[in-house]
Structure formats: C-alpha cells, structure tokens
Amino acid sequence: MKAQSLVSGFSSNPTTPSIPNTKKSFFQTPTPPSSAYFSQSRKWVSFKIQHSAPQRVVWSNKQNGVEEAKDGTSNGNDLENGVRRKKLAVFVSGGGSNFRSIHEASLGGSVHGDIVVLVTNKRGCGGSVYARDNGIPVVLFPKTKDEPDGLAPNDLVAELRKFEVDFVLLAGYLKLIPVELIRAYPRSILNIHPSLLPAFGGKGYYGMKVHKAVIASGARYSGPTIHFVDEHYDTGRILAQSVVPVHAKDTAEELAARVLQEEHRLYVEVAAALCEERIIWREDGVPLIQSKENPSEYR
C-alpha cells in the first residue's frame, strides 16, 4: 500500500532532550530476539496541528459517493491534558477487523479520537456494514466500472476536509492511495502491513501472499509493521513493529491469525499515540513514539 508521513507543521526550534541510556526493546514479544537503544542526545522535532473549531454534523441520505449516517461520533471538543480529540478516517477493503479494534478502543476511551468516516472501494464489504451499523458515514473511492458512484481523488480530499479529518489510517485497503491525498495529508497517513518491513513488502505482497512467502523463506519471525505512507509501496518511514514467532509447522492461515491478533493490539497502541501527539520525529527523519508514562523514553 502506498505510504507517506504524518503531520504538517514542524517546530521551527526543535529541542534536544537527553535520552537516558536505559535499554528498551523496539519490539514487543514474549521473548524479544534483540534490543536497541539510544544513549546520545539528539535533536528532535515535535509538532502540534492547528485546526479550526470542530462542529457537530448530522448525516443523512446518500449523495455523490458518500453514504451518510445519523450522528454516532463525538463532537471532538473533548480535551485530554490539553490535547484536542482527533478526527480519524479509516480506509478498508474487507472485513475491517483493525477498523473495528480502533473504533472499539475509541469508544472505550483508550484512543483519544473518533472515526468520523470510513472510506472503501467495496460498498458491501464487512467494514462498510460495520460502519453503517455504528452510524459512521461511508465514502466510496475510487470511481470504477463496478463502483460508478466512487469519488475522484480531488473529490475524496474535499470530502475528508468536510469531515475535518486529522489523520488517515489504512487498515486493509487494497487500492492505490492517490498522490493528491498524500500531498493533502503530509505525515498524516498510516498503513499497517502484515510482515516485518522491509522484508516481504512492496507491490504484490498483501494478505495471505505475505504469510506464504514468510513460511517459504524459512524466516523464524514475522509480525506487523505500521509505517507512514509515501508515494511508493511499503517504503514509508517505519513507526512501529511487533515480533511474532513463526512455528516450524505453521500454515499460512495459522501464521496470519497470530499476526492479525498482534495487529489489533499494535494499531490501537499507535492510534492512541497519534491522537495524543506523542509521535516525535528525529532530525534524520525517523519517527518514534514517546512513552506516555515516561516522556523521556522513546521507541
């Protein structure tokens, strides 16, 4: 899936916090194979997004590729530690299990944001059904022979602007992300991939194809990667990964189920950090997640 980065608007005067020389694994796994740490002071870039005051919108009917729904989301005015509640757009093509996990976490309070719109290329997919059942508007993209009501790229950007979307989360969306969207939302689009990138990524690596390739390679570990979206397949900056063991007698389906379970946990964790403005950009362009419990720690 195409990939990019996260938020426009850098701090013009980046600070240089001192990073303690304490060991902390970049991966989360019962038996991590390795650890990596930062012990030097480096320059970091933090950011906050400025938005106009959010307004509540009541949706109804269907028009121009947008299936609207009645209410169902927060008004976005909630503040937590001075941070405004964020508005999220999620893109899906299938059942949308990661979409459901993030939505449930939002309703439960562990993600300081609301999913205000779902974008899909398949109006009848499981993710679309779940969205409609939960009062989340559905947008069809792109316009195709099978989906003539789908939006054009510029219309999609305009629609997301109407919803005042802060961040875009790709969760099993199998269509190319248009350059218009990437440019409209710099450093604001994330994708999840079911392997430890850069391994088993790129064009043609999706779904069960990834897990079959992992098993065929003899790799002992796999797991999900969450990365920013740029204009190429699976090449955006990596934000988070989690290691899952590959068992000797695994089938692709068994490995897929194990990785998917970890995807649900990891994407919720990253969405929470995103909405709480805890993504920090190192001066060399590497994004890290700031610990909520200990702000001097990053991973």
Catalytic residues: 193
Separation CA 267–CA 288 (nearest Å): 15
Q: Do 274 and 167 touch, CB atoms closer than 8 A?
A: yes
Q: Which helix (H) or strand (E) holds 45?
A: strand 44-45
H/E stretch holding 228 = strand 225-228
Q: Which residues pair with 83 in a beta bridge?
A: 80
Task: Label the pairing between strands 189-193 and 167-170.
Answer: parallel
Name beta bridge partners: 279: 289
Q: What is the 3-state secondary structure (H, E, C) of 164-209?
A: CCCEEEECCCCCCCCHHHHHHCCCCEEEEECCCCCCCCCCCCCCHH
The token pair that represents 229 in the structure block: 């979206």
